[in-house]
Structure formats: C-alpha cells, structure tokens
Structure 1
Amino acid sequence: MISLAELQRRIDAGDLSADAAIAQSLEATSAHEKSIGAFVCRDESLRAQSAGPLRGIAVGIKDIMDTAEFPTEMGSPIYRGFRSRGDAAVVMMLKQAGASIVGKTTTTAFASIDPTPTLNPHNHGHTPGGSSSGSAAAVAAGMIPLALGTQTGGSVIRPASFCGVAAIKPSYRLLPTVGVKCYSWTLDTVGLFAAGVDDVARGLSAMTGRPELLLPPDIPTPRIGVVTQDFAGAPDASGGEALRIATRAVEKAGASARALDLPEIFAEAWRAQPIVQEFEAHRALAWEYREHYAQMAPLLRAKLDESRNTPPVAYDEAIKTANRARQALEELFDEVDMLLTLSAPGAAPRGLGSTGDARYNRLWTLMGVPCVNVPAHIADGDLPVGVQIIARYGADAAALAAARFVEDALRRQ
C-alpha cells in the first residue's frame, strides 16, 4: 500500500516531487485496475497541485459524491452520464488542501447492498465489501494513498476490514454531506480510507483544517472496554479471533481491557437502526423509486418494497430510542476511554453475491460516534479481518490516538 504519511515526508524533504508522487499512483492504478475494477472512471493525465498539505496525494472519490470533472452515476443506470455543475463539499475540501482527484470509485447502487464487480485485492474470489467497494479496494491494492467513502450502516468500516486497510467513520457531520447522494440524513457519514491510522489522521486533519486530529508524539494508554454486541449474533471464527488477538495485544502493551455488557437500550437501538435507515431512504430515493422503479438495483428495490409501509410513528419511536441510547453511551464513556469491538462478522464472504453483513456496524453509525478500523488478523485465504475502535461523539482525535495504540500493539505481537 502507499503510505500518505511517507509521501508527505518525502515531498516535504524534497526527495520526491509532488508530480512524481502523482505519477506513482497513476502507474500503480494502471497496473492493478484491470484485475481489481476499483474505478468507474479516472484521469490518466492527472497532475499535482502546487501547494497544500495534500499536494502530491491522489485521491479516489466514491461515486455518489458530486464532481465537476467526472460523471456521478451512483452505481445506477438511472444516472448514467450524469454530471453535476460543481463538486461536493468534501471534494472541495480535498482540493483546497492540495489533493488531486484521480477518479471515481465504484459504489453499490445508491450506496445500498447490490454488489459491484470490484474484487478483493487479497483474494479475487471474495468481495471487497460495500458500499464503498472501490475506495477500499483501491487503497488496499496500492493504487492510491487516500480515498473517500460513506457509511450509513457499515459501508466504511466493513470494507476496510475486508480489504485490510485503516479507515475512519468520523463523528456525524464532522465532514459535510452537501453534494453527496442521500440515503438516510440521520445516518449518512463521509469517511476516509488509507494504509494506516497515521495516514487516515493526516488526511482528515488536512481536509478539515484541524491540527488536533494529527497523532501526538506520545500516545496515552487508554482504558478499553471490549464489546461483543451479543444482540447482533455470534461472529465467525475469524472475527472472534481478530477481537481476541487485539485484546491480548493491548493488554500486553499495558492497557486495561475489560469486557463490557451493554445495557438493553443498545439492543433496542440496534433494532431501531434499520427502521430509521429505510424510512428515510424512501424519502431520499422517492423520485428514483417512483419514476425509475424498473431500473432500480434488484436488492435495493426489494428492500424498499419490503419497508414501504413503515408508519411514521414507528420512525418517531426509533428516533427516540436512538436518542436514549446516545445518552447511555455518553455515560458509558465515563468508565472507559474507548470501545474495542468487531468491524465485521469475519473475513470477506466468498463470491460477489453479497457485500457482507453490517450487523456489527449499524449501532455505532446510529450513535454518530467516531469509529476506526485497524487490521488485526489474517484468516484463511489471505483475507484480512479488522477490529473497530470507538470513542465518544466528537472525540475523533481520541479515537485516532486509541486506534494508533491498538495498531502499534498489534505490530509488536
């Protein structure tokens, strides 16, 4: 993989020009794209910008985000060839930080569940996950050092786990969703993929202009609560092993790690998340569903068919449940600094018939809290499995620091 941090160090030291860094990404993309299929379209004559902390950094943009230079097709024939007049807010944030947009990465239709043709770079017989399939795969394959995705259920953290890259789903609305196709306005969150936690932190800091998101020289030893989310069902063997490995590693590194039993309100919120998601999806996709029903992706269409009669009162109750759970989570973080839990049930499923299960992600998306994936284990078939580090709402810097602590502890295993 290409380290954003290493590129920045070399460019700042004068050992590598920004244009040469971009050329490296273009060369790597040309070498791997035919076998992975991570991009919908790309600029093969891309040049570096002259200034900014992300100069020389080629970035892939999930194809539900508006870009003036590229079509925004949202994984659907309904929008084939569609071009917006301008860039999404997050795309402009990248450009203002000096990044160069290399192209649009594949997404499931409207960031839902119908798989893309993208292959997992570690094992082509397995899914890269979704809905941010191309972004995770492009970083994992070493094509680009940074990519944007979105998460409504588990669409950043889960593909990061399957592809063996670091990723952050930041606190809700740290990154704006203006110009990003909406699925659920309560849940949609823009996230980042990169090779390691330091790379993710640097990308997020540069985009937002928040230096406090950069990792400190000394990482404090966190108090860790280990959460298995029993209400979400048992993990696969590889998922359980990843969590065990990470727990042993942080304990060996000197952290206290104790099992936490989540109160019942979290199980209620977990059950409420799909109600919120699909009720809002019917409003966000009302035009497509009504005017282009036959062109809707089949799994998404079936999901919308199934949930079309959800009454507003059920949605209102789900929102109330979410609010109660968020309050309970704030109180839980008085006991621990971070939560350590599963990023996915296990390694990436075989075949391209599914993008995997978001059951270990959806609660935390509903809570709006920052989540970071750290690769923890290699399962059979050379398939990565990650663990998820979670901090309280707004504590993105703390989440990144804790994730770096876990990453370092795993490296020392």
Structure 2
Amino acid sequence: MALAPFPLSVAAIVHRAKSGEAEPMDAARQSLAAIARMDADVQAWTHVMPAGALDKLDPARHAVGALAGVPIGIKDVIDVADMPTGFGAPALTSGPATFDACSVGMLRAAGAIPIGKTVTAEFAFRTPGPTRNPHAPTHTPGGSSSGSAAAVAAGMVPVALGTQTGGSMIRPAAFCGVVGFKPSSDRVFRDGMKLTCESLDTIGWYANSVQDAQALADVLIGADVGDTVQTDRPLTIAVQLGNPRTGLCAESRAEIVRACKVLGAHGAQCVPVEAERETALLLQAHDVIMHYEFARSLAPVAQRQGDRLSAALLQAVAQGLAIGAGQYHEMRAAQASLRRSWHALFGGADIVLTPSTPGPAPRGLGHTGDASFNKIWSVLGWPCLHLPTAFSRAGLPLGMQLVGDWGSDRALLAIGRKLHHLLIQQGK
C-alpha cells in the first residue's frame, strides 16, 4: 500500500475552515473517505462516525477555535459521546458513551471533530488488536495505541489520541514512523479515560509533524510549569543508549550516531551519559507499580468475566495481586525520588536523546514489541517526543526520542521541532 500523510496539516485545515476557503467539515469528509478506502487493509478503527453524522453537526462551531475543522482519532479507552468504548475487549464493549472524556471535550471545544475510535490492545495492555503496520503488514504496529499510530501513518487522520503506561505511545510512533508525544504525567486531564495504572497512565497524541503536535499541546496542556528552554542558543544534549534489558540494533545505533553528528555540526554538544543503576531501578519500579495497579484496576473485571479475557491479562492480574503493599510503596518512593533527579543524572543538559525502541518494527502480529527504552521515562513521568528520521534497509521506519524534565512539555516540543527539521534535511 502506497503511504502518504494526510494531505493537509493542522494549520492548513484550521486556516481553510476559518477563512471560508473550505467548508468546516471538508477535512473530516476527506478523513472518512480515506478510512473507507484503506482501513480494510490497516484495521486501525473500531468505530467510525457515519458520513451522514457530519451533516448534523453545527458548521459554525467547527469554523472557530484553535483546531477548527481538524478530524481526530481517539484511542478506544477514552470516551467519545455517542460512540461505544470497547477497551480492546470486544465482548465487553459498552453502549455509546453519554459524555466526552475531558480531553475530547477540550478538543471539540477548540473546533476539532472526533471522527472515530481507534484500536487498542486489550485494556491497553499486551494482547494486540487486529491493526497492521501500514509500512509492512506482517510487522507489528506496536501497542497499545496501535490504531491511532497506524491511522496517522496511513494518512487517514492528521492527528490521533493515544495513551502510555509503559511504551504505548512512543513504541507505535517508532514502528509506524510518525511523530509521537507523551506529555509529562498529570499535564492532561484523564477524566473519561479507563485508568488501569493510576500513577503511570498518560494521554498523548500522534501527528505527521512536531508542528501539528504542538497545535494539540496548545489546547490540552497550555503553558509550561517550569522554566522554558531557549532554542536560539547551543543545546547540551545528554545521549543515553544503554539499557540493562535490551540491546540496540546496528541500524538504530547508526541513526543516533548520525543525529549526534548533524546536531553537533549545528552547535549542539552531545554528551554520552551512563545511568545503569538508575535505569535498572526504574525498570524494576515500573514492573512492580504497573502490575500492582493494573491488577487492582482489572481484578473486578477478571472476577466477573474472566472467561472473556486473554490468558496474558489474567496472568498479569494474578502477578499483580501477589505483590505486597510494602514492595509497591517502596517502588513508589523510588519513583518520587528519581523523578526529581534531572540535574543529578544529566547535569546541565537541556534534553536527553535516547532510543525509542531497540530497532525497527519486528515481524509478527502476536506481540507489540519491546518497551524497555520507554518504561523508565513513564515511571519518571517526564515528557517524551519520538522523531521519525529515516528508514531501515528493509524499508521500516527508524527514529529516536527526546526526553525533557517534568513540566517542560512545550519547550521539548519547540526543541524537537527545530532538531527534527535539521535531521530530516540532513538525511535527504
């Protein structure tokens, strides 16, 4: 399948809707047509708005706002009014939601048009849905936000919401070759989202460009909490490649080495950083916190309808219930302590440059890939931005992630936009 991004950027859609150059519903109609044309192959959607439903919307409402007329996909663990929420567990799909989730309501108030629900792994955990990687249908699109990433990669929507507990935003972005942004923890309201891990779950989004990702951040996040990073001065970039649980493939390593050379030629100082002890502790903390919270969130479902859930989910619930409160609170304390450790770990660095995944999307659809390069940042709650920068020899997307200190979301996006332009231009 020949891939092309959605034909209009967010800024172009908004301009056309506000200026009257196009009808406010024009981009949404293009999106629905693309879904009808391509989704039989990609299988990114669980529910799509009927085309006739657009005629019932108030055009004036979608001709104003920061996201006027922008069609958007919503991961199927987040409520959209009048659409079912299925959690990736078809047997448990609820009826149409009565209200929008807070994040969806904010997007709608800004003029966006939620056009459908995208595939998620079962309860945003491990068992994948039917979505295919648009670049290579026999390779995983990642998880758990597979449908949202694939929908953007295939050009069906310009932007889509996902969520991350371990690596569920960044890994699909890497495998599908789109921009993926996971904000700082607690920066985006989660009301109306199915929480499985109270202290880890974060709503994020996919886009074709960092500029488009910034447009959603303007609506969902607002101003940065702490000091912002200036992008008009030389940057210090901490480069962290090591991970005690996985290695980095040669092509991914070479792409990061290339990035450091390009950024160094433009004045950035790329400084290798080793944090093996802290990384190992954070990975341990993620395993304990995730399983403990996930088990207690899903135990009521497992107790009543366990015969309708996957063996992997039931095993995770059992594993989490076996973890004691003492161990859980010990890991929460480690999480809180390390979350405040930016300067201790990275000195005067402005951002961290690190792999998004061990390599390109692996072959097979029965798994979602390795999240070892994502989990530590999810525990820390720091913002992460995946930048697609190249392709492997086999034609699969390659890239890397940038990480910022907690609360520096907009600064990270601003830096990412500048660096992505340099990396793309130099890669041509």
What is the TM-score of this pair, normalised by structure 1?
0.94
* Map of 2:25 onto structure 1: 19
Q: How many residues are treated as equivalent by the alignment? A: 412
CA distance in 2 between counterparts of 1:208 and 1:324 reads 24
* SS of corresponding position for 1:412: helix
Q: Structure 1 CA distance, aligned partners of 2:91 and 2:196? A: 16
Q: Deviations over 1:26-54 (max 9, x none)?
A: 22222211110110011132535232111
1:375 aligns with 2:388: yes
The equivalent residue for 1:395 is: 408
**Alpha-carbon offset, residue 217 of structure 1:** 11
d(CA) in 2 for partners of 1:15, 1:222:
40
2: distance between equivalents of 1:100 and 1:211? 26
Q: Measured at CA, do residues 384 and 129 of structure 1 come closer, stay the same or move farther in structure 2, by a change above 3 Å? A: same
Measure the CA separation in 2 of the matches of 1:243 and 1:408: 15
Report deviation, 1:208.
3.8
1:157 aligns with 2:170: yes
Query: Which residue of the other structure, out of 34, 38, 42, is the alignment partner of 2:44?
Result: 38
| SS across alignment from 1:285 | helix
Corresponding letter in the other structure for 2:381: G
AA in 2 matched with 1:362: K
Q: For 1:6-405, list aligned pairs within 5 A.
A: 6-45=12-51, 46-47=53-54, 49-210=62-223, 219-262=232-275, 264-405=277-418
Q: Which amino acid aligns with 2:28?
A: I
Gaps spanning 5+ residues in structure 2: where?
none
Distance 1:209 1:264 in 2: 35
Counterpart CA distance in 2 for 1:311 and 1:410 is: 46
Whether the 8 Å CA contact 1:205–1:211 is kept in 2: the answer is no
1: CA distance, partners of 2:305 / 2:218: 40
Q: How far does the alpha carbon of each residue in 1:261-320 deviate from its partner, in whole angstroms, 9 at most, with x for none?
A: 126233212221110001001111121121111111222222223333111111111111
- 8 Å Cα contact 2:140/2:367 also seen in 1: yes
How far did 1:371 drift? 0.4
C-alpha separation between the residues in 2 aligned to 1:217 and 1:13?
Answer: 33
SS in 2 for 1:231: coil
Question: 1:361 deviation in Å?
Answer: 0.2
Stretches of structure 1 that go unaligned for 5 or more consecutive residues are none
Q: TM-score, normalised on structure 2?
A: 0.91
Q: CA deviation at 1:374?
A: 0.3
Indicate how the Cα distance of structure 1 residues 171 and 216 shifts in structure 2: closer, same or farther if over 3 A, else same: closer
* Deviation of the 1:209 alpha carbon: 4.8
- Tell me which moved more, 192-201 or 25-34: 25-34
CA contact (8 A) 1:151 1:188 kept: yes
Cα shift readout 1:105-130 (whole Å, capped 9, x = no counterpart): 00001000101110111111111111
Give the aligned residue type for 1:168: F
1:368-396 deviation digits (Å, cap 9, x = unpaired): 11100000221133210220101100000
In structure 2, the CA distance between the partners of 1:209 and 1:367, relative to structure 1 (3 Å rule), is: closer
The separation in 2 between residues aligned to 1:264 and 1:217, in whole angstroms, is 31
SS in 2 for 1:18: coil
For residues 315-353 of structure 1, give each alpha carbon's deviation from its aligned partner in whole angstroms, at most 9, with x where no partner exists: 111111112211222433541000000111111111201
Tell me, what secondary structure is at the counterpart of 2:341? helix
Residue 220 (structure 1) shift:
4.4
The amino acid that maps onto 1:33 is: D
Find the aligned partners of 1:5 and 1:358 in 2 and give their Cα distance.
32
Q: Is the 8 A contact 1:246 1:387 kept in 2?
A: no
CA distance in 1 between counterparts of 2:252 and 2:313 reads 27
Q: Which amino acid aligns with 1:40?
A: T
Deviates more, 1:245-254 or 1:36-45: 245-254
Matched to 1:159, the amino acid is: P
The alignment's C-alpha RMSD in Å is 2.2
Measure the CA separation in 1 of the matches of 2:395 and 2:230.
Answer: 33
Question: What SS is found at the alignment partner of 1:301?
Answer: helix
Q: Is the 8 A contact 1:39 1:105 kept in 2?
A: yes
Contact 1:333 1:392 in 2 (8 A): no
Q: Distance in 2 between matches of 1:96 and 1:9?
A: 17
Distance between the aligned counterparts of 2:106 and 2:236, measured in 1? 34
